Chains A and B, each alone.
Chain A
Amino acid sequence: MNEVLLSHEVMVYLLSESLLYGLLLLGFLVSLRLLKLWDFEAFTTQQFRLETQSYLLATILLFMIVIKLGLLPYFVYTLDTLSDIVPGAMCGAGVIKANSYGNPLLLVKSITLVLLGIWVTLHQLDLEKKNYPYFRIKTWFFVAIFVLLSVEYGLDIAYFTQIDIHKPVTCCSVIFGQVGGANALPFHLNTLQLLLLFYLSFVLLWVLIVSHKVVWSLFGVLLFAFFAYYSVVYFFGTYIYELPTHKCPFCMLQSHYYYVGYMVWGLLLGSVFVNVNRVVMQVFFHQSVETLQRLSWLLPLLFVLLCSLYVGVYYLKNGVFL
């Protein structure tokens, strides 16, 4: 049997995902029944039973979303622990590239979480109204998300069952390092230009949010996330590691760096998640959710402050930049 599957973390992870998928499958079947028979105007016993079932479905989904939210960092933690048995890997960066399913899996997981977040907001709006105006749309939305969750579950199984522990993988310094001095940054950028774009995109996002340019703020947050990713890997990360040659998005998730990577990537993913959610709510449902509005500028601000703090503290401690 594949040794990867015998790892405690992988067992816990796959078992949790399997249980969740079982619940989701149940939820999916209930959704189809609800979509077929739902008639809010009817005063029949069946309709009252369906309303109770819809409440059960929402509870299952909310429970699943909370667990899923925890399982994303746990998935990354599992990758990190696997670096002990996958030859060549020094952190999760090598493990995720152990086969071709790793990166698509991480991407699908992130997209699913954003979509589930939109579902939660839609559900909240639905509950606030007396006549469940968004019931059908939120249930169809869940059916669509279920398809994606099925793909994710399939990728989970394919990824963990097909990690070959006899095949060496490349470590993060090869994947993200400047091999042979080549510039790994996009558009021929140098570090200074990258930082300029990072801070400019942050200010742009802020102005777009404050001036209520809703649709444009979606472009703003995606632009910000793009430059933020490169800035963390190729600049801010070096201050977290206190080593100018160490460029990796995964190592910062380890205990040597006080697990700060979870906060860094959590804030960035959270910024995208909240802003996309806010835009969808305002554009498609003409609803402005106060909490989302507040978080949409707060999370990017905290992200920028956290990253900049590492540079500032390093400079104050050592009197030089890296």
Chain B
Amino acid sequence: MKKFLVNVVLFALVGAMIVVLLLALGSEEGTKYVYKGNSSHKPLKIKPKEYQCSECDMNIDQLNYLVELITTDGETFFFDDIGCLVLWLENHHPDIDRIFTKTIDTHQWIEVEKVWYTRKAASPMGYGFAAVEKRGEDAISYAKMRELMLQGQTLHDPFVKKQLLLQK
């Protein structure tokens, strides 16, 4: 009888733990990185802090710098900074359909390779890169931005920062 009672208690305890875990897994709390089922393959409108950056894990609350990567099967990944996208793509190789970024000058969704990049923006992760539609004097291409990002020549580097900020 005692053994039976112990087994019932154990069963109840394990059951309770599984229920709590399932409730947690099914909740909206916690990480949300990917939107599945973006069949139109167009940029999604999201609310601040609704999704987290796939690279740096931060909640995305500055939507002006938002980058969205849409895969061929409609999964959409979100990045709070174009620098995060570059870093993420170094370690991940999804089947990319299109990648959109918001431009900070015209606030339009444009594909990342069709815009220019400034190096001195107050981007969320502080790398300094941000997409602009209108080409300024110091604007660089996506390929150049990617190269500089991977070399670490961003505003995080004190030398680069000083050089850029001294430029008129």
Contact = CB atoms under 8 A, between A and B. Distances in A.
Tell whether A pairs with B.
Answer: yes
Interface of A: 179-183, 185, 187-190, 193, 196-197, 200-201, 203-204, 207-208, 211, 213
A211 B30 CA distance: 37
Contacts, number: 65
29 contacts: A179-B56, A179-B57, A180-B49, A180-B52, A180-B59, A181-B61, A182-B31, A182-B57, A182-B58, A182-B59, A183-B31, A187-B24, A187-B30, A188-B25, A188-B29, A188-B30, A190-B24, A193-B24, A196-B16, A197-B17, A197-B20, A200-B13, A200-B17, A200-B20, A203-B13, A207-B9, A207-B10, A211-B6, A211-B10
Contacts of B24: 187-190, 193
B23 interface: yes
Given A181-B59, A193-B20, A193-B24, 5 more contacts: A188-B25, A189-B29, A189-B30, A204-B10, A207-B10
Q: By DSSP majority rule, is chain B's interface helix, strand, loop, or mixed? A: helix
A182 B23 CA distance: 19
Nearest to A213: B10
Contacts of A188: 24-25, 27, 29-31
Tier of interface size on chain B: 20 to 34
Interface string B3-27: 1001001100110110011011101
Given A197-B20, A211-B10, A180 B27 contact: no
A193 B23 contact: yes
Contacts of B31: 182-183, 188
B21 A197 contact: yes
Q: By DSSP majority rule, is chain A's interface helix, strand, loop, or mixed? A: helix
Contact of B30 (A183, A200, A201, A208): A183
Contact of B61 (A180, A187, A190): A180
Contacts of A208: 10
A190 B21 CA distance: 10
A185 B30 contact: yes
Contacts of A203: 13
A186 to B, nearest CB: 9
A204 B30 contact: no
Given A207-B6, A211-B6, A187 B17 contact: no
Contacts of B56: 179
B119 to A, nearest CB: 22
Contacts of B49: 180-181
B111 to A, nearest CB: 26
B157 to A, nearest CB: 13
Contact of B58 (A180, A187, A197): A180
B17 A182 contact: no
Interface string B23-52: 111010111000000000000000001001
Nearest to B61: A180
A206 B6 CA distance: 11
Nearest to B58: A180
A196 B23 CA distance: 12
A201 B52 CA distance: 30
B57 to A, nearest CB: 5
Nearest to B52: A182
Contact of B17 (A181, A183, A201): A201
Q: Which of B29, B30, B56 has the most CB of A within 10 A?
A: B30
Contact of B27 (A190, A196, A204, A213): A190
Contacts of A200: 13, 16-17, 20
A285 B125 CA distance: 56
Q: Which of B3, B21, B24, B25 has the most CB of A within 10 A?
A: B24
B13 A180 contact: no
Nearest to B53: A180
Contacts of B58: 179-180, 182
Contacts of A201: 17
A169 B46 CA distance: 33
Contacts of B59: 180-182
B20 to A, nearest CB: 5
B115 to A, nearest CB: 25
B106 to A, nearest CB: 26
Given A182-B52, A193-B20, A204 B29 contact: no
Nearest to A190: B29
Contacts of B30: 183, 185, 187-189
B125 to A, nearest CB: 10
